[in-house]
Amino acid sequence: MPSGSTFTNLGVSGSLALQAEREQLPGAIAQRPSVVTVWLAVNDLNATIEPSSYAQSLGVIVDGLVRGTDATIFVGNVPDLRSVPVYATTDKARLLAGINAYNDSIAAIAARSPSRVVAVDLFTGSAALVSTATVSSDGFHPSDSGYQLIADRFAAAMRAKGVPLRS
């Protein structure tokens, strides 16, 4: 972020969208942010939250941020998880169907406020990026290199939307 910016992380590891709606959204609005990043999806997917329930909670979060702030909101979608080691024994067609349902919901939510909400595409090309360099030793979470790839996608979306970022 540019000099003089304040960064506040309200994220809680392991949060589901419903929890973030209840516990993190009020604090986010109270911060009066100019930019918000949201990446809530994989925990819900793993918890087998129905796409419609996930979309309901994420929609409340995004719509609340649109109504309650002047922020530009960047919402990350679900990467292609089929090659991530923890999913080695998972039905790949079923996993992809779940990912696509979540990503469709994210796109639809972003489309409700296109001047303020940007869906950040973490899916396209992500399967090819999954390796021992991008997945941590737990076989699930991104490694430092993996988080850098995610951050780069968010930064590219922010730059495209005119958010001034330092190089």
- For 131-153, how does the pLDDT look when each residue is reduced to its tens digit (9 = 90+)? 778 889 998 889 899 999 999 99
Domains and their CATH numbers in the chain: 17-160 (3.40.50.1110)
Q: Which of 89, 93, 83 is nearest to 135 (CA)?
A: 83
In the numeric block, which tokens belong to residue 86? 């923890």
**pLDDT for position 63:** 98
Supply angle C-alpha 145, 151, 155, rounded to 5.
140
**pLDDT for position 6:** 87
**pLDDT for position 44:** 97
In the numeric block, which tokens belong to residue 125? 């090309």
Q: In whole angstroms, how far apart are CA 50 and each of 56, 83, 101? A: 10, 22, 9
pTM beyond 0.85, yes or no: yes
31-65: pLDDT as tens digits: 999 999 999 999 999 999 999 999 999 999 999 99
